[in-house]
């Protein structure tokens, strides 16, 4: 097919869905495989795009990045219909810190954060690599977070870095999420090295603080100054369309500095 084939996980809501919308509104032509853990929600997401005038097409597929069997089944379904994938967007991600001592233990939250945000992205990439390598312009994207910067987290002059008073108790806000996204950046670097001689361009993208359902509290994110999720979709589309090719192998963003410090 003459459309560029894009596979995106976690795309039935939030930044994932906004990325699909942004691609549909592009002058370029795409066939977008919209990944969702729930078949009905994937179908509803596709139906929500019906009002967009577009030359692109969208097709839902079922995938749970925490399940090897689900990833295998998703690959088999897509490989049976398409001879390549031009862009794989590992967007599926979640934060579980808010659920600690509520519905999850700390260990459960930390393990699940790593499983969803890092292991799932890695295993999706491993599985879909044969199709990605058949593209004439293969692109691999990992959606990270501005909270993943080690330099930013350690900067004593950053007003967002709060140093706790002596004594107990201690709070651990977003610690498992931040740690997982920092791990995701390392994963991106390793994949960038692995695929350099194959001609695959690789990035992490930090879309900024956006009002999504991440962590289960959209209203809190808005109070913290979160922006419209469509800004994240537009930022990801620009990477897909070659606007950040000179920054391949880095964490890119469109606020503060264009490249996020490690």
Residues marked active site are found at 145, 177, 181
Question: Quick one: which of 176, 201, 178, 184 has its CA closest to 124?
Answer: 184
What distance in Å separates the CA atoms of residue 135 and residue 199, rounded to the nearest whole number? Answer: 10
CA distances from 135 to 74, 76, 157, 212 (A): 19, 18, 45, 32
Strand order in the sheet with 30-36: 57-62, 30-36, 4-8, 87-90, 139-143, 201-205, 251-252
In the block, residue with structure tokens 């651990």: 172
| Strand segments (E) across 53-126 | 57-62, 87-90
- Tokens matching residue 138: 């293969």
């Amino acid at each position: 097919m003459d459309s560029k084939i894009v596979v995106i996980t976690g795309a039935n809501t939030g930044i994932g869905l906004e990325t699909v919308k942004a691609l549909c509104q592009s002058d370029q032509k795409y066939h977008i495989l919209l990944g969702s853990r729930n078949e009905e929600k994937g179908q509803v997401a596709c139906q929500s795009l019906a009002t967009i005038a577009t030359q692109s097409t969208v097709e839902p597929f079922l995938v749970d990045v925490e399940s090897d069997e689900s990833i295998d089944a998703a690959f088999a379904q897509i490989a049976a219909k398409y001879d390549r994938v031009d862009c794989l967007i590992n967007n599926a991600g979640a934060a579980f810190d808010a659920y600690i001592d509520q519905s999850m233990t700390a260990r459960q939250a930390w393990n699940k954060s790593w499983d969803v945000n890092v292991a799932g992205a890695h295993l999706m990439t491993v599985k879909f690599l044969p199709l990605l390598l058949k593209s004439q312009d293969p692109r691999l994207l990992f959606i990270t977070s501005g909270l993943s910067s080690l330099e930013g987290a350690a900067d004593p002059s950053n007003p967002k870095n709060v140093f706790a008073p002596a004594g107990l108790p201690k709070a651990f806000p977003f610690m498992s999420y931040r740690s997982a996204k920092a791990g995701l950046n390392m994963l991106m670097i390793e994949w960038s090295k692995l695929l350099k001689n194959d001609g695959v361009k690789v990035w992490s993208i930090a879309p900024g603080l956006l009002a999504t359902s991440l962590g289960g509290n959209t209203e809190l994110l808005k109070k913290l100054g979160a922006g419209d999720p469509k800004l994240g979709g537009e930022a990801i589309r620009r990477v897909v369309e070659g606007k950040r090719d000179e920054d391949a192998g880095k964490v890119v963003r469109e606020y503060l500095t264009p490249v996020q410090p490690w």
